[in-house]
Structure 1
Amino acid sequence: MIDATDRHIIEALQSGLPLVPAPYAVVAETLGLDEGALLDRLAKLKSRGVIRRIAAAPNHYKLGMMANGMTVWDVEDSRIAELGAQIGALPFVTHCYERPRALPDWPYNLFAMVHGTDRVEVEEKRAEIAAILGDACQAKDILYSTRILKKTGLRLKKKG
């Protein structure tokens, strides 16, 4: 449960922060809070799992990253945490997570999103991932994006 102030904070931030030197101060002022109170509430919302993060959601196509591929890997269960952390730390991987397999058709349990200016660059990055995974990987594939489907998080409807 969130109170009215938390709801107003989420509504104020869900479309993004203002592009100014002190964005939290501006948001706090519009809500009638001081910046410290806003930051404290955000930290509590995050610790309770109400919000996961505040992050930029760039349009990769507009940044010149015209090839986007979700690389999928069948990694030994005993090594997925260790190897997943290594893959997720790569500077060119924007999302990395473990998912359950859907056997027999889908043996993949590690997913890593890779962006590049073209498919050649994405394939080079995929080769780097494959080298890290080594013998712990039994199968792999890549699913290329054809369009952007969603670039926003959950949106709360304003009350009243």
Structure 2
Amino acid sequence: MPIDEIDRKIIHATQAGLPLVSEPYQAVAEQLGLSAQAVMLSMAEMQQTGVIRRIAAVPNHYKLGYRFNGMTVWDVDDNQVDALGRQVASLNFVSHCYQRPRHLPDWPYSLFAMVHGKTEQDADQQVAIIADLLGEHARSHEVLYSTKILKKTGLRIGG
């Protein structure tokens, strides 16, 4: 989907995040010489067409004190992964949950869910809750803990 010059300017102005002010769209609009309504409509259209995937806060879990960030990976039946994934995603401590392809025989996992704990015990308790929820549907699982932050930004384009 091609983008026009105004969309490109909006993307460039917001790609590092919306301004942390009470009226962020107004601030972007003033910077670009547009109305806040025009910025919001353009961003909504770009989101509908897939140019922008989502508009969301991206917390730095480490700065918030969450030092034990684990990607849990689960081997569940492919016929049940959607329903089970919805259940896991509904847990308030799961920040993201999705299905990924298996790579047999070395990687049998298809359901991924990220958990965050201030202590290893906190994270382990969350993993145990997911394990209880999945029950016999989880044939096996692993927890892959983050050791460093590699990237906390999305795609950047030049102005």
Same topology, TM > 0.5: yes
* TM-aligned CA deviation for residue 100 of structure 1: 0.5
Letter paired with 1:46 = Q
What is the alpha-carbon distance in structure 2 between the residues aligned to residue 103 and residue 155 of structure 1? 34
Instruction: String of CA shifts for 1:70-96, please: whole Å, max 9, x gaps.
Output: 000011111111111111121111111
Identity %: 56
Flag as ranges the 4+ runs of structure 1 deviating above 4 A. none
Describe the SS at the equivalent of 2:139.
Answer: strand
Q: Which residue of 2 aligns with 1:65?
A: 66
RMSD: 0.8
Would you say how many aligned residue pairs link Structure 1 and Structure 2? Answer: 158
Q: Which residue of 2 aligns with 1:45?
A: 46
TM-score, length of structure 1 as denominator length: 0.96
* TM-aligned CA deviation for residue 55 of structure 1: 1.4
What is the alpha-carbon distance in structure 2 between the residues aligned to residue 8 and residue 89 of structure 1? 36
Describe the SS at the equivalent of 1:77.
Answer: coil
2:58 matches 1:86: no
Return 5+ residue gaps in structure 2 as ranges: none
Counting only pairs closer than 5 Å after superposition, residues 4-19 of structure 1 correspond to structure 2 as 4-19=5-20
What is the alpha-carbon distance in structure 2 between the residues aligned to residue 85 and residue 33 of structure 1? 40
Describe the SS at the equivalent of 2:81.
Answer: helix
Q: Which residue of 1 aligns with 2:118?
A: 117
Letter paired with 1:104 = P
Letter paired with 1:63 = L
Q: Which residue of 1 aligns with 2:137?
A: 136
Q: Which residue of 2 aligns with 1:26?
A: 27
* TM-aligned CA deviation for residue 20 of structure 1: 1.2
Describe the SS at the equivalent of 1:68.
Answer: strand
Describe the SS at the equivalent of 2:56.
Answer: coil
TM-score, length of structure 2 as denominator length: 0.96
Return 5+ residue gaps in structure 1 as ranges: none
Describe the SS at the equivalent of 2:153.
Answer: coil
